[in-house]
Structures are given as structure tokens and as C-alpha cells.
Amino acid sequence: MGRRTQRLLTPWDGARYRRMTLELEADGAITLLSHQMGAGDAAPWGADDAEITVRLEPAAASRLAFALLTQILDGRTDGVRALLALCEAYGAEAEVANWT
């Protein structure tokens, strides 16, 4: 699998250019890229322009995924079905073992 990119903001709100994208790298790292520029209420001449990159290495991305799944599945009696549905919806292969 190569890099996967998802745009999170529309690029223009009428006054400011905004770009925010989330990237999933082939190695499992996640990068959030944010770029805002143009006149804003607080800084009409663009003095608040910002370009910020936040990168989570693969191990940190896994810990974050674990924490988010914990929040989603906590207290659910249909946790197995819910996790498998998430995997199917987002194209994540899951290995399932069943002992009866």
C-alpha cells in the first residue's frame, strides 16, 4: 500500500486559504498537514499565516488507534461485530480466530 491522503477542509472560506490533509504512509506513520493564509479578523494583513505539520510515527499511530478503538468499543456487547464492521468499511484486513 502506498501513501493515502484525505482532505479534511475545503481550501477556501471566502477570506482565508485553508488546507488540512491527513496522510497515511506506507509504513503506518500518520501526518497531519495544515496551512492557513490570508486575511483573518485577528490579523487583517495575514500576520497569522501558519503552516504546521504533525507526524505520528507508526508506533505512536498504533497507540492512538488503540485509544480511539477503546473509546468506540468500550461497554459494547457487540464489540467483535462492531470492530469487524469498521475493518470492512475502511478496508483493514483482520485476522479472526474462533474457538468453540
pLDDT confidence of residue 73: 97
Beta carbons of 57 and 63 less than 8 angstroms apart: no
pLDDT confidence of residue 78: 96
Average predicted confidence (pLDDT) for the chain: 89
Q: Scanning the structure block, which residue is given the C-alpha cell 468453540?
A: 100
pLDDT confidence of residue 24: 96
Q: How far is CA 30 from the centre of its chain?
A: 7
| Percent of the chain scoring above 90 in pLDDT | 66
Beta carbons of 33 and 23 less than 8 angstroms apart: yes
The 3-state DSSP class for residue 28 equals coil
pLDDT confidence of residue 92: 93
Q: Indicate if the pLDDT at residue 40 is higher than 90.
A: no
Q: How far is CA 4 from the centre of its chain?
A: 11
User: What are the residues whose beta carbons fall under 8 Å from the beta carbon of 92, sequence distance 6 or more?
Assistant: 86
pTM: 0.75
CA distance 25 to 3: 5
Beta carbons of 20 and 9 less than 8 angstroms apart: yes
